[in-house]
Amino acid sequence: MLYIFLLAIAIPLYLLNRYRRNKRYEEFWKHIMAIPGPQGSPILGTNNTLHTPESLFIRDRKRAVEYYPIFKLWSLDAAGVFVMSPDDIELVLNNSKHINKSLFYNFLHSWLGTGLLTSGGSKWHSRRKILTPAFHFNILQQFVELLNKETQILVDNLSKSCSQPYVDVVKPITEFTLYSIGETSFGVSLRDHPDCPSYKQAVYDFGHSFIYKGVRPWLWLPLIYKLSPTYRKDRQIVKTLHAFSTSVINERKERFAESSDGSYAERKRLALLDLMLKAKQNGADIDDEGIREEVDTFIFEGHDTTSVSICYTLMVLANEPVIQEEIYQEITSIIGSSDEPTYNDFNDMKYMERCIKESLRLYPSVPLIGRVVGENLMTKSGYTIPKGCNVNISFYDMHRRPEIWEDPEKFDPDRFLPDNVAKRHPFAYLPFSAGSRNCIGQRFAILEIKAVLCGILRNFKLEPVDTPADMKYKVDLVLRPAGEIRVKFVPRLVNI
C-alpha cells in the first residue's frame, strides 16, 4: 500500500519534472548531464539503490576514484556535483557567491535551526561577528587549566583499563570532549548531568536518520516525510537534543544573572555562551532561540568532530611506535618535571602538531561539506556547474589523491614541514574547510587534541590492536567508524 502511494506521488512528480526541464530548467540540466557520473534511472536518477551507511561510504569512494576530479549525482529534481581537486575547491570556497549551504543541510534544521553551521547571508555574517571573539587566543589560554583537568580525569579512567586487552577509545574520548566543551565554552559541568547518556545516543541516532533520509529521495518531499515513521522518530530525537541544550543554557543563565553587575566581564573575557547572553542583553541581533541554535551547533561541533579526530590519532600513533616515541620525547623536553603544561608549552610542541595535521589529512573529522553555487561556475576541468546546483566538496578523497600526496596512505608528519607545505596547493589540505566559512573553532580543536595527547602519551605507551587497514567507516555527519577503534594502553615505567 505504501509503495502504491509513493508511486502515485512519484509519477506526477516525474512528469512535472520533465516539463520543468524542457522549460525553465533546460539549461540547468544540459550542464548537469554533461558532467561525468554513474548511469541513472528514471525518477530516482543515480540514487536508485538503497544503501547502508557503510556501503554508501564504499560506493562514494569508488566513484571518487573512477570519476576524479568531478562527478555528478541526481535524483528527482535535485542534482549534486562532487568536486575533489584543489583547483575546483578553491573556485567554490574562495567566492562569496557560493557561501550558502547545500540541500542536505536542510535535514539539520530541525535540530540546529539556522545557526552558524546552516545559515547563510546576513544572518550568517551577524552570527559569525558575534561569536568570533569567543575563540580569541586570550580565551584559549584560559581554557588550558580546564582541558588539563579533564585530561587528568581521562588518564585516571584509562589507567583502570590497562589490564584489559584493549580499550575501545570511542566512548571515553567522546565523554572527554563533551565534558570539555561544557566546561570551556558553556561554563557548565556536564559530568553529572543526568541526560548526558541520552544526548550522546541522540547524536548518533540523528546522524543515522540523516543518512537514511539522504538515500531515500521520497523522504525529501515534505508531505511524504511528515507521514512517515521516520518523521515521528526524528521528532523524539530532536526533543532529546533540545532538552539537553536548553538545560545547559538555563543553568548558565542563572549564573550569568548573578554576575549581571559586570563583575564576570571584568574578571575575564567572555566565553561562548556568556558572550551570546551578553550580546542579547546589549540588544544584538540574537534572541533565546538564536542562542539555543548556536549552543546546539557548538555542543555537537565542539565535541563530536574533535572526538573522532582524537580516536583516529590514538589508533594511528599506536601503529607508529617511532613517531609516538618522538612525540613523547618532545613533550618531556618541553614540560620537564612540570605537572601542568601551559598554553605556551602546547604552542612549542611543533612535532606533535605536525602529527595531528597528518592525522587530520587521513581522517578529516568532517569528510564532506556542501554548498550551493550562486552563479554558473566553470571548473578547471572544463565543466560548467550551473547556478543553483548543490556542490559536494570531498576533503577525504582529495586528501588521499596520489597526484597531490605522494604515497597518500602513509602516515608522514614531515609533509607538514614548512618547506613541504609551501610547495603544495593552498587548497590541497582542508580539514577545517577554508575561506570565509572556515571552522571558527579550529584553534580550540588543535589545543584540545594537544592537551589530551600530552596527558595520554606522558602516562601510556600505545600498542596497536586495530590498524589503519582494519578501519571501516560509515557515512554520517562526521567520519564515523563502522565499529570500534581499539587501542592497548600500557603504563609507562617512568612517569614525569
| Residue 178 to residues 187, 188, 290, 404, 486, Cα–Cα distance (Å) | 12, 11, 21, 35, 20
Q: Which amino acid is at 276?
A: M
Residue 277 has a CB neighbour count (10 Å cut-off) of 21
The Cα 344–Cα 357 span in angstroms is 19
CB of 176 closer than 8 Å to CB of 449: no
Q: What share of the chain is helix, strand, coil (3-state, %, to 5)?
A: 60, 10, 30
| Residue 407 to residues 153, 320, 362, 365, 473, Cα–Cα distance (Å) | 38, 16, 12, 21, 21
| Residue 462 to residues 74, 168, 352, 480, 491, Cα–Cα distance (Å) | 45, 13, 15, 21, 9
Query: 416-446: buried (b, 16+ CB within 10 Å) or exposed (e) per residue?
Result: beeeeeeeeeebbbbbbbbbebebbbeebbb
**Alpha carbon 86 to chain centroid, angstroms:** 20
Q: What does residue 124 show for φ and ψ, rounded to 5 degrees?
A: -60, -45
Q: Is 239 exposed, middle or buried (0-12, 13-18, 19+ CB in 10 A)?
A: exposed
| Residue 145 to residues 140, 148, 149, Cα–Cα distance (Å) | 10, 5, 6
Residue 48 has a CB neighbour count (10 Å cut-off) of 15
Q: Do strands 390-394 and 78-83 pair parallel, antiparallel, or not at all (unpaired)?
A: parallel
CB of 177 closer than 8 Å to CB of 264: no
Q: Is 166 exposed, middle or buried (0-12, 13-18, 19+ CB in 10 A)?
A: middle
CB of 361 closer than 8 Å to CB of 429: yes
Determine if residue 439 is labeled as part of a ligand binding site.
Answer: yes
Residues of the binding site: 439
Residues of the binding site for heme: 439
